[in-house]
Amino acid sequence: MTVATPLPSGAMKFGVTADGVAAVTYAGEVFAGRPVGVPECGDPRKRALVEARVGEYFAGRRRELELPIDWRFASGPQLAVLRCLLTEVAYGRTITYGELATRSGVFEELSEPGIPARTVGQMMGANPLPLLVPCHRVVAADGLGGFGGAWHGVEVKRWLLTLEGVLPPTLDWSGPAD
């Protein structure tokens, strides 16, 4: 299902199964080499819930989406890091890649500096559930860091962090949708 957003990237696509949201992509992007195409849930109430909560978030009336998640596209260390991010980094807060690596406990065996932070960066780039699992809240130790591989990635991250009050709005910021 496609949901309109005020993001610089435009609409987002949500793959909703009977168990919850399984995949999210920004307009025109693909997940795991293919467009979001997880089995669509036939329950109109679940679809309406996703549309309503996403709309409330972008209108500034909801801080967390609180949607059921189907974790089928995440496993192992990535799943542990994503769950840590979801539970420990609230709306309006950020965490560095290195801090998330440490907090997740996944990289305790690695002693080479920088590897855990870079690995978390790669995990965030492969996050199957952006927005629901807020990878936009993970930043570099020395600035904003990256966000996705598309042309609009950093602008989307900047927009989301502005919405959440982490960054001050610029004169050209479009603000929350009503």
Q: What is the chain's pLDDT, residue by residue, as a tens digit (178 residues)?
A: 889 999 988 888 898 888 899 998 886 655 545 445 566 777 889 989 999 999 999 999 999 999 999 999 999 999 999 999 999 999 999 999 999 999 999 988 876 778 999 999 999 999 999 999 999 999 999 988 887 655 577 889 999 999 999 999 988 887 786 5
- Give the pairing of strands 138-139 and 95-96: parallel
Crossing angle (nearest 10°) for helices 76-88 and 115-125: 90
**Distance between CA 39 and CA 136 in Å, rounded?**
26
CA separation, residue 109 to residues 102, 105, 112, 137 (Å): 11, 9, 9, 25
User: Cβ distance 122 to 16 under 8 Å?
Assistant: no
CB atoms within 10 A of CB 71: 16
- Which among 135, 138, 156, 160 is annotated as catalytic? 135
User: Cβ distance 70 to 20 under 8 Å?
Assistant: yes
* Residue 41 appears among annotated catalytic residues: no
| pTM over the 0.85 mark | yes
